[in-house]
Amino acid sequence: MIRKALLWPWSVLYGLVLRLRHFLYDQRLLRSKEGALPTVVLGNLTVGGTGKTPLTELLVHEMEKIVGSGTVGVLSRGYGRKTKGFRWVKTTDKVADVGDEPLMLRRKLTLAAVAVCEDRITGLRRMRKECPEMKWVVCDDALQHRSLIPTLSILQRWNLLENILVDYTDATVLVTGAASGIGAALASQLSDRGAHVICADRDSKGLADVLASIGSGATAITSDLSDPGAAGALIEQSFALRNRLDLVCSNAGFGFARSVLDEDMENASAVTRLFEVNLFAGLKIAQAYGRRLADTGQRGRLMVTASENSLSLPSAVKRSKMAFYGATKHALLIAMEWMRIDPKFAGMDLHVLMPGAVYTALISPLLPNPADAAPELGLIMPQQCADIALRGMDHELFYIPTHGHFIEDMQPRLREIEDAMNILNVNNET
C-alpha cells in the first residue's frame, strides 16, 4: 500500500504527459509519417510481461512462410541498451549494446534481420537501404510511438505466455533415458500433446513397458550412449524415421554417492562411465543434432537434463557424497550456457532442466517409500518434473528449475565469494 501511494503521483504525471502527447498528434501539431517499408506494429495494454517477444518470433516465422525466408525483419528500440542510433543486431552482441529482447530475437530468428533504433522512421529507412530484399518489418514495441504510421497494428490484450503452448502436433521428438523416471514421464506427456515420440534407452525391457503405456505414436530405439558413435547414430536414426526432428530431450543419466578419497582414480571405470553418460553423451547429442539441423536447414529445440547440483550443493543432501555426479551436471550446465551464445547454435532453442529431488531409480533404493521423504527434500514425482519441463519450454525458458529452495542453496557460495572479494580488495577496477 505504501509503495502504491508513493508511486501514485508519478503515475498521474505519466498519464498527463501521454495525454498531452496524443493530443498534439491528434491536432496534427506533431506529424506521423509512413515508414520506408511495410510494417506490422505490436503493442499491449500493460507495461511489459505480456509476451510480445515470443509473439514477434511467431509472427516473423508465419510471415516468412508467406512472403519468403529472409524477407521479414525486426526493428526494436533496444530498451536498456547503452548505445545510440541505428545498429544491426548480431548474435555475438552483448545486452548492453542492443538490449535483451532484440538479442534474444536475433539468436532465435536465424534468417530474419534484426535491428535497433530509437527513431523508427530512420531505422526503417536504413533497413530498406542496406537490406533491399526486405519486404516487411515487425516492430515489437512501437504501438505507442505515433511518429510512425504502421501498415498494420496488433494490440495484445492478454498474457501470451499463459495462453500459447508449443504445438507438438505431429512433431517428431526424441527422448533419451526414456525407459524410466523423468524420461518416461516426458515421453508420455509429449505423446499426449500430439508428438510422435522416439524413446531411446539401453534398457530394452523398460522401453517396451513405456511404449505399451503410450500406445501408438511412439518408436523405441535401444541405444547405450556411452558407446562410441552411439549419439550420432541415434540422431541419424531419429531423422531417418520421419525426415525431421523437432525436439530432443537429452535425459539419459545416472548417479552414485562416493567420496573422492574412496575412489580409485587410476582405474576409475565407474567415474569414467558417469562422465560418458551424464556429460559427454549430452554434448555429443547436441553436436550431432546441431550439425544435422544445419545440414537440413531445419529449426530445432534441445532440452538437456542437468540437476540442482549444477547450481549449488543442495542443503538437503549435503552429506550424500555426490561430488562426481555434481561435477558432471555442473559441467553440462556450463557447456549449455556457452552453446547458448554460440552463433553456430542459433538454429536451435536451448533449455536446461534442473531437477531437484525427483523419485527416480537414483533415489528409490535409498527411499523405498516416497511418503517417508523428509519435507526439506521437496520430493516430487517424475510426472510433476515432466510437467514443469514442458511448461518451461512453453515459456521459452533457458533455465528450468523445479524447486524453490535453489535460490537459498546458492546463497552460501555467493556470500563466500563476496567475502573473499572484500578480503582481497578485489573490485571491477582492479
Ordered DSSP codes for 88-101: E--TT--HHHH-HH
Share of residues in the chain with pLDDT > 70 (%): 86
Residue type, 309: N
Predicted confidence band at 365 (pLDDT cuts at 50, 70, 90)?
confident
pLDDT at 201: 95
Which tops the pLDDT comparison, 321 or 276? 276
Predicted confidence band at 202 (pLDDT cuts at 50, 70, 90)?
very high
pLDDT at 22: 57
What does residue 278 show for φ and ψ, rounded to 5 degrees? -75, -35
Gap between the Cα atoms of 232 and 245, Å rounded: 13
Segment 50-85, tens digit of pLDDT: 456 777 887 888 888 888 878 899 998 888 788 999
Residue 302's DSSP bridge partners are: 248, 350
pLDDT at 11: 65
- Is 195 in contact with 168 (CB distance < 8 Å)? yes
pLDDT at 387: 92
Mean pLDDT of the residues in the chain: 84
Predicted confidence band at 400 (pLDDT cuts at 50, 70, 90)?
very high
Mean pLDDT of 329-348: 92
Gap between the Cα atoms of 248 and 199, Å rounded: 10
Residue 49, pLDDT above cutoff 70: no
DSSP category for residue 320 = S
Give the residue carrying C-alpha cell 501408438: 216
Nearest to 53 by CA among 109, 97, 98, 92: 109
Cα dihedral angle (114, 398, 338, 69), rounded to 10 degrees?
-30
Helix, strand or coil for residue 61?
A: helix
* E strand map for 164-242: 172-176, 196-201, 218-222
Predicted confidence band at 430 (pLDDT cuts at 50, 70, 90)?
very low
Q: Does pTM top 0.85 for this prediction? A: no
pLDDT at 160: 47
Residue 107, pLDDT above cutoff 70: yes
Mean pLDDT of 328-357: 92
- Lowest-pLDDT choice from 32-41, 265-274, 406-415: 32-41
pLDDT at 87: 94
Neighbours of 81 (CB within 10 A): 22
Q: What angle do CA 7, 8, 14 make, to 5 degrees?
A: 90
Segment 93-105, tens digit of pLDDT: 888 888 888 888 8
What is the CA 428 to chain-centroid distance, rounded? 30
Gap between the Cα atoms of 113 and 32, Å rounded: 25
Nearest to 135 by CA among 53, 57, 55, 40: 40
Gap between the Cα atoms of 323 and 268, Å rounded: 14
Which tops the pLDDT comparison, 160 or 320? 320
- Is 46 in contact with 98 (CB distance < 8 Å)? no
Which tops the pLDDT comparison, 315 or 250? 250
Q: What angle do CA 422, 428, 429 make, to 5 degrees?
A: 105
Gap between the Cα atoms of 35 and 124, Å rounded: 6
Residue 157, pLDDT above cutoff 50: no
Which tops the pLDDT comparison, 209 or 216? 209
Gap between the Cα atoms of 47 and 54, Å rounded: 16
Give the residue carrying C-alpha cell 512462410: 65
Helix, strand or coil for residue 157?
A: coil
Gap between the Cα atoms of 15 and 97, Å rounded: 30
Reading the block at residue 362, the C-alpha cell is 537414483
Nearest to 353 by CA among 325, 324, 391: 391
Give the residue carrying C-alpha cell 529449426: 299
Listed in sequence order, the residues at least 6 apart from 12 whose beta carbon sits closer than 8 Å to its beta carbon are none
Residue 152, pLDDT above cutoff 90: no
- Lowest-pLDDT choice from 126-130, 324-328, 423-427: 423-427
pLDDT at 312: 86
Q: Per-domain residue ranges for the chain?
A: 29-162, 172-414
Gap between the Cα atoms of 60 and 40, Å rounded: 10
- Is 149 in contact with 30 (CB distance < 8 Å)? no
Helix, strand or coil for residue 139?
A: strand
Predicted confidence band at 21 (pLDDT cuts at 50, 70, 90)?
low
Predicted confidence band at 161 (pLDDT cuts at 50, 70, 90)?
very low
- Is 385 in contact with 358 (CB distance < 8 Å)? yes
What does residue 27 show for φ and ψ, rounded to 5 degrees? -85, 5
- Is 109 in contact with 9 (CB distance < 8 Å)? no
Reading the block at residue 11, the C-alpha cell is 503515475
Residue 159, pLDDT above cutoff 60: no
Fold that domain 172-414 belongs to in CATH: Rossmann fold (3.40.50)
